[in-house]
Structure 1
Amino acid sequence: MNKLDYAIATQALKSADPKLGAIIDQVGVCTLDQAQHLGGLLDSLARSIIYQQLSTKSATAIYHRFLQLYPSGMNAEAILDTPDEILRQVGLSRQKIIYVKDLAQNVLTGLPTLEELQPLDDETIIQTLTKIKGIGRWTVQMLLIFRLHRWDVLPVDDLGVRSGIRRIYELDELPDRKTVMKIGQAWKPYSTIASWYLWRSLEIS
């Protein structure tokens, strides 16, 4: 998306959902493009696995230590050749070591590249990648948002999205998936931009 695209998206969201529109006005210009992830599919999914169920601060520290194991660049063979004990020392849990190595094995046996995934629709990409251990729907949705730049992704299980909805709509408790999907109908075809504003809304005092 360029600045014009973001302007069109935010204007459409404000018209469709005044409550979200108020948050858009508070947060200001969308800077989602500045948060895009780099690297190939292996790097993107390994990053997502490492970040699962951890605070951003802790996950970032572990991820950087993980990257330092591969000064010449991360690749599937290098990950598989890394002893589990070394991966434990940089902070990966035993479960995440299994996931990261399974991911590397899948890359070697023919996982599609980002370029090969690009022409596919969102749901096909989700079904393709969730066959890998430790890769759930949420993880692939983060790839769709931050790596494949898809505009209409609504991660209904994301805690930040649910917390943002609870706050904006003054709900008594976190909304369930059905409620998120119902409210999110108004945000199509810009659910990704809406999700970004929901995340940012949690930073407003």
Structure 2
Amino acid sequence: MVKATDMMGAQSPAVAVPPYWEEAKQELMKRDRIMKKLIPQFGDLHLVGHDDPFTTLARSIVKQQVTPKAAAAAWQKLLAACPKFTPAAVLKAGAEELSACGLSKRKTEYILDLADNFKTKKVHASQWDQMDDEAVIAELVQIRGITRWTAEMFLIFNLLRPNVLPLDDPGLIQGISQNYFSGEPVSRSDAREVSANWEPYRTVATWYLWRSLDPVPVE
């Protein structure tokens, strides 16, 4: 167990290191000259996972297409409106109360639809640990408001999958551009070619490229 740095730079309580993390660091530093330079810069920092699938996905919807500050404010209002943030509590709150938290009409609909999917067990959250990455993505993108990128972030931050390559993530593409191509534009094909050297730890390499752009770990 180690202490992780939260988004404000403070020390948060001890959290578990993903079981593959240390091995992944060593393998990436052996194989990749950029990772060999990058990884030691961040010491004991590591990916910190989120526990509750419903909360993780709802928060990802709140974050879509708004500034981090606006997303954080809306999320805090949501938690105030639904202190027990469960599918049943969200459905009970209803559209009017969710909208009053600063959510757009569409995001309100998305979160209510997500809650309905969980409450009626249209999604198989209890089975996701046993399903492969693409099977989880295929199920998640059937929910309104969940894109492939959102599903990949869920694989990384909730299921702690070690080999996710989120090609739709601007931070990953920018990180590859700055670290591997001297800031030149990078295509998805370029990104795939670079990432071939990272398997089966593409999540870990992605996380370090995010850190190279913003040293404060994201939630």
Scaled by the length of structure 2, what TM-score is found? 0.83
Runs of 4+, deviation exceeding 6 Å: none
Quick one: structure 1 residues 42 and 111, their matched pair in 2 at CA, closer, same or farther if it must change by over 3 Å?
farther
Is 1:36 the counterpart of 2:49? The answer is yes
Contact 1:6 1:30 in 2 (8 A): no
Superposed CA deviations along residues 28-58 of structure 1, whole A, max 9, x for unmatched, are 33421xx21132x221211111111223232
Partner of 1:56: 68
Report what 2:39 is aligned to: 24
Aligned: 1:116 with 2:131: no
Cα 1:63/1:17, change in 2 over 3 Å = same
The answer to whether the Cα contact below 8 Å between 2:29 and 2:36 also exists between their aligned partners in 1 is yes
Q: How far is 1:203 from its partner?
A: 2.5
Task: Note the residue ranges of structure 1 that are not aligned, 5 or more in a row.
Answer: none
Q: CA RMSD in A?
A: 1.9
Instruction: Please state whether the residue corresponding to 2:143 is helix, strand or coil.
Output: coil
- CA–CA separation in structure 1 for the residues paired with 2:210 and 2:145: 24
Aligned twin of 1:104: 115
Count of residue correspondences: 199
The verdict on how the C-alpha distance between 1:188 and 1:135 changes in structure 2, with shifts beyond 3 A counting, is same
Instruction: Please give the per-residue CA displacement for 1:49-90, whole angstroms capped at 9, x wherever unaligned.
Output: 11112232321221121111112x122232223242322221
Matched with 2:82 is 70
Gaps of 5+ in 2: 1-15
- The residue type paired with residue 188 of structure 2 is R
Residues 124-164 of structure 1: CA deviation (Å, up to 9, x unaligned): 00001100011011111111111111111111111111111
Matching of residue 47 in structure 1 with residue 59 in structure 2:
yes
Choose which of 28, 32, 41 in structure 2 pairs with 1:13. Answer: 28
Structure number with the higher strand fraction is 2
More helix by proportion, 1 or 2? 1
Q: Which residue of 1 aligns with 2:137?
A: 126
Secondary structure of the structure 2 residue equivalent to 1:132:
coil
Aligned twin of 2:214: 203
Of residues 159, 162, 169, the one that matches 1:158 is 169
Q: Please report how far the alpha carbon of residue 4 of structure 1 lies from its aligned counterpart in structure 2 after TM superposition.
A: 7.4
